[in-house]
Amino acid sequence: MILTIPNPILRQRVTNSPTCIPATVCRMWFHFTDVDTVGLAAPQLGICEPIILVYGVPMIKPKIIKKEGAKVIGVEGCKSIPNKLYKVNRWSSVHVEFVDYYGNLKTAVFNDFHARIVQHEIDHLHGILIDERGTLID
């Protein structure tokens, strides 16, 4: 089950290292296919590990190493804040360093909507939700 606010786990910064990556990723994949979504962060399942999925691809310890372009306002929802949409300001391009499922250190560049998803999911690892980052759309 995806945790929803006001569950305090969602506001906690993840400080642990991942313990068992395949087990966590497997649980995340299960939920990823279960809920119609483009991204998911481990804390949303109550797992305090630095793992996110973006379009089903696991990224371990993701870190934004460079922000580019302009900040753009876009509409976002979050499974942890059901039935609400927020206007959120995000960088249009980010370079992200992460460890892949096989343990390789990688860097990838994400643009536009993909950049938005990655920033949203990395925010989850810092305990930041879109209700803090953006403004509610009535």
Binding site for Zn ion (CB under 5 A): 78
Q: Which CB, 2 or 108, lies closer to Zn ion?
A: 2
Q: How far is the CB of 130 from Zn ion (least distance, A)?
A: 7
Contact assessment for residue 50 and residue 25, using Cβ atoms and an 8 Å cutoff: no
Q: Which CB, 34 or 107, lies closer to Zn ion?
A: 34
Indicate if 76 belongs to the active site.
no
Contact assessment for residue 79 and residue 53, using Cβ atoms and an 8 Å cutoff: no
How far from 114 is each of 3, 33, 59, 74, CA to CA, in Å?
23, 18, 14, 12
Q: How far is the CB of 80 from Zn ion (least distance, A)?
A: 5
Q: Active-site residue numbers?
A: 121
